[in-house]
Amino acid sequence: MRSHWWVMGVGLGLYGGACKTTPLESPADPKGEAPLSTEVHALIDEAADPCVDFYRYACGQWLDETVRPADQPRYGRFHELRERNKLAQRTILEEDAADANATGDAAKLGRFYATCMDEAAVETAGIEPLAPLLEAIAAAKDDAGLMRVLAQLQQVGARPLFDLDVDAGYEDPEITSVHVDQGGLGLPDRRYYLDEGEAAEALRAAYVEHVAEILDALGEPDAPQRAAEVVALETELARVSIPRDQIRDPDQRSNPMTVAELAKLTPTLPWKAYLEAAGIPEPKHLNVVAPSYVEAMGKVVAGAEWPVRRAYLRWQLGHALAQHLPARFAKADFEMYDLRLNGQAEPTPRWRRCVETTDGVLGESLGRQFVDRYFAGDSGRIAEEMIGQIEQAFAAALPGLEWMDAPTRERALEKMHAIVNKIGHPEQWRDYSALEVGSVHVANVMAGQRFEWRRQAAQVDGPVDRGEWHMTPPTVNAYYNPSGNEMVFPAGILQPPFFSADNPMAMNFGGIGMVMGHELTHGFDDGGRKFDGSGRLTEWWGPDAVSRFEERATCVEQLYDTYEIQPGVHLNGKLTLGENIADLGGIRQAHGAYQAWAAAHGGDATPAVEGLTNEQLLFVAFGQIWCSHATPEAERMLATTDTHSHARYRVNGPLSSYPAFWEAFSCEEGTPMHPAQVCEVW
């Protein structure tokens, strides 16, 4: 089962923090701290005009002087904190692995990490741990057998044909539902299969070679021919898949059905056999996210011969586990996905891959130790206070929204007051006692996947666990969950140096304050606004307010469509609409909260950083959280697949539509950062 569709967070370009905590101590830590003014100005390009390109002004010197590591396709200030967090996790895991007296979760963590790091043992094990699954694929003779094998493969992390998620229901957010979604592709998006041109054709040819390499490593006879057939099958799946910018709409995603109704969509595929093998024999709450895809997928499968079906299943298994198999698999995976698709010149170091894998399987166990060491003191209290100030700013701005009628405005205020804020870590830690960790790495990974599958399957048709988190504590990100009407800020993002009780509040509000405002605004973006305060998908807006909101959303969509990140490569304003609305609202809520804080503290008139007013400092701090580099390949892929905009436009887009920014930097109308036509939603 996969991550929930709405867990987008504030985006991979983010770094941030929301409280004063025990600083992380790792080899990556800088020795000594520069004065605040020096630190801020060290990133700024003083020669750049903030009214022409504020991103260049705020980040120019950082962009000129920072070299992107060869093992990372994207690197920014967020990644600097993420690397420190991973080094801290590495320290925890290495200590656990070295402790012969470790017991309980510490022993389990140490053993899992140690087996991951033991490359010789990975080579010795080879593909033998996959033998039962490969035998099941070979033994499948009919459609019921196919569906049973699909369930087995999905339980170890593969995603053939379709995806399955367990989450709150759209109609009743208090009950856990099964959600069947489209899936089954090995490339990042349907466009990679369908786009025309020499570059697209060359990539597909390389992809066929990659599939052939994985199939050959799994012992597939005539791997090149089978690879071509597998890619042809995936191309048909891509052709019937719904584009990303269309499937975002929760109204379209909500299609409750019975198992019998699902079966009618694909008469040749026995869903009862699949659900029984998946451990969800008779779900009473079932939703099909993309009925048209599921129906067409059934026809694609019916038209595929059995040798092609089996080769496709073998490929999907090898693809899912390649990073955990011998070097031949990992090398092929790197060359296709990291090097060719992302422009990443060097493989990710094994220690980092093993930290990420351990976090994925035993995340709350590892997170508990991380929190104990690095999330101390008043962290939660300070973060909670800042969130309260952001919410007050949102509430204070509502009466000024003339496009929203009074009843809708009142219901929006009620929804905001109903938001649940989760800070740092779960109240109840996950119990991993049923998960056995052995001496074979890929077997441990599959055991972890099965453990999580069973845990989620057991929740189906039961009450939603409101205490559950969908990010682990060390994660440097945050998210808004519409079905829970909750904002979640893991300890990983609540770290210095991006927030500190010792920093001027203008910087704090420009940094983590903007993140908080961003997540809050997600509750009222083009998707989040369709859920009420209880998390139910329902229309609670008046018709005139809906019409006026959509006019403003169209303005945002069309604005971001104009942004060109490379010659001929534009942002997709429809795909990124929700995130762009959240960015526009986030900086406004953060600035409004800062103004209220300053008024309550005597005006905050003394500049904290030489050469900048505190108002300017807030916007500079906001701009500097997005300083980042990316390879051209990564930029192109993100333009196709990511719901977030390019870093430059996450800064310049919101600020060019915000009058308070124009005033702070005296930007005259007609300058690029003060255009005549602007977009305003929240």
Q: Provide the annotated active-site residues.
A: 519, 583
Q: Which residues are CB-neighbours of 24 under 8 A, at least 6 positions away?
A: 84, 85, 87, 88, 374, 495
Check the CA dihedral 4-6-7-11 and report its sign.
Answer: positive
C-alpha gyration radius of the chain: 25
Count CB-CB contacts under 10 A for residue 145.
16
Q: Crossing angle, helix 577-600 and helix 647-655, to 10 degrees?
A: 60
Both tokens assigned to 581: 């609305």
List strands edge to edge, sheet with 486-490. 420-424, 486-490, 479-481
Can you give the three-state secondary structure of 432-455, one letter per residue? Answer: CCCCCCCCCHHHHHHHHHHHHHHH
Shortest CA distance to 361 belongs to which of 447, 433, 425? 447
Residues in a beta bridge with 166:
178
In DSSP terms, which residues pair with 181 in a beta bridge? 163
* Cα distance between residue 289 and residue 183, in whole Å: 11
The Cα 20–Cα 499 span in angstroms is 7
d(CA 300, CA 297) in angstroms, rounded, equals 5
Q: Report CA 588 to chain centroid distance, whole Å.
A: 23
* Torsion, Cα of 339, 345, 346, 352 (10° steps): -70
d(CA 15, CA 623): 12
Tokens of 460: 């189906």
Buried b (16+ CB within 10 A) or exposed e, 332-356: bbbbbbbbbbbbbeebeeebbbbbb
Cis peptide before 497 (omega within 30 of 0): yes
Q: Are 491 and 17 in contact (CB under 8 A)?
A: no
Q: Which residue has the tokens 């741990």?
A: 129
Residues 6+ apart with CB under 8 A from 10: 16, 477, 478, 479, 515, 518, 519, 582
Helix (H) or strand (E) holding 667: none
Cβ burial, residue 522 (10 Å; 0-12/13-18/19+): buried
Return the exposure string of 51-90: e unless at least 16 CB atoms fall within 10 Å of the residue's CB, then b.
bebbbbbbbbbbbeebebeeebbbbbbbbbbbbbbbbbbb
Contact 168, 484 (CB under 8 A): yes
Report the distance separating Cα 682 and Cα 400, nearest Å.
10
Tally of residues, the chain: 682
Q: Is 199 exposed, middle or buried (0-12, 13-18, 19+ CB in 10 A)?
A: exposed
How many Å apart are CA 521 and CA 480, to the nearest integer? 9
